[in-house]
């Protein structure tokens, strides 16, 4: 791959057919991921929508792109409108069609516009910013397999952060894309009224039991976690359950490689 130099996006080649597209100029440090198959490509999330991510994907592939939505929050669906084919889990489909629940538009705009460290394009206006809304082309359920051509992606329903949150297991490489279920450096958010701490803990346990994981790629912060961090997830699950802490209002709980806020 020729190095892509861009004022807003940072592109990292994870392997010759897998790319992280990161937005380090924003405090959320969001990652989207482009996975190339033989016949199609999958774009896992589309970022903040501050700038146009299709400018980057056009430089990386000419394959038709399926957008796989890990969950319907503004920082993961920002450039959905730039693509023709969008998939979302059935339990987040209403949020995509009718608007995100649990966060006001005013709060979303504040979060989108604060603590930005790189120049933003003139097209970005935080005062008029609105999260994408639209009808998905396919509604996903747990156990679905997305065929890209010599590359199959398994869909795991991992609710908690949102009702229809999914994790995506790239079977050929062992990469596990966890969206906002599991990442490092800042707490995993499970304190919104629309989050479910019990579901989130159950989902952490579930991904920790997936066999063959070689690397974990969350939606924020550090790019790539070792598969051994799943042992930390299991230990965290056990501790939270034993002490009845997986409920709203119990605060931030820190473990070896991650933390969670209820």
- What is the percent of the chain where pLDDT is above 90? 96
135-167: pLDDT as tens digits: 999 999 999 999 999 999 999 999 999 999 999
The pLDDT assigned to 68 comes to 98
**176 pLDDT more than 90:** yes
Picking from 50, 7, 5, the residue whose alpha carbon sits closest to that of residue 27 is 50
The pLDDT assigned to 1 comes to 65
CA separation for the pair 166, 48 (Å, rounded): 18
What is the rounded average pLDDT of the residues 74-100?
97
- Alpha-helical (H) ranges within 43-195 are 54-60, 93-98, 105-113
Tokens of 211: 């066999």
Tokens of 243: 């002490």
CA separation for the pair 59, 6 (Å, rounded): 11
The pLDDT assigned to 80 comes to 98
* C-alpha dihedral, 223 to 229 to 230 to 233, nearest 10°: -100
Which 3 state secondary structure label does DSSP give 120? coil
The pLDDT assigned to 101 comes to 87
Residue 69 near residue 155 (C-beta atoms within 8 A)? no
The whole-model pTM stands at 0.96
| pLDDT band per the 50, 70, 90 thresholds, residue 31 | very high
Q: Given 3.20.20.70, 3.40.50.300, 3.30.420.40, 3.60.15.10, which CATH number is that of 10-261?
A: 3.60.15.10
């Amino acid at each position: 791959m020729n190095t892509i130099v861009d004022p807003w996006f940072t592109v990292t080649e994870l392997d010759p057919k897998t790319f992280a597209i990161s937005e380090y100029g924003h405090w959320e440090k969001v990652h989207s991921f482009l996975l190339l198959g033989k016949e199609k490509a999958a774009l896992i999330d589309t970022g903040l929508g501050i700038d146009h991510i299709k400018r980057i994907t056009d430089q990386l592939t000419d394959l038709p792109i399926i957008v796989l939505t890990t969950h319907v929050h503004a920082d993961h669906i920002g450039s959905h409108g730039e693509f023709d084919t969008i998939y979302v889990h059935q339990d987040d489909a209403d949020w995509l069609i009718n608007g995100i629940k649990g966060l006001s538009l005013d709060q979303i705009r504040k979060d989108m516009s604060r603590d930005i460290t790189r120049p933003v394009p003139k097209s970005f206006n935080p005062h008029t910013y609105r999260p994408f809304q639209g009808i998905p082309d396919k509604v996903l359920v747990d156990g679905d397999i997305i065929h890209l051509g010599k590359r199959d992606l398994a869909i795991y329903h991992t609710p908690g952060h949102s009702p229809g949150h999914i994790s995506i297991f790239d079977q050929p490489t062992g990469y596990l894309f966890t969206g906002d279920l599991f990442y490092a450096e800042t707490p995993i958010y499970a304190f919104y009224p629309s989050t479910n701490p019990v579901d989130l803990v159950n989902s952490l346990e579930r991904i920790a039991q997936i066999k063959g994981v070689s690397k974990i790629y969350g939606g924020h912060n550090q790019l790539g976690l070792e598969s051994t961090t799943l042992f930390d997830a299991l230990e965290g699950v056990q501790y939270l359950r034993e002490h009845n802490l997986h409920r709203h209002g119990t605060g931030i709980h820190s473990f070896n490689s991650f933390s969670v806020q209820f």
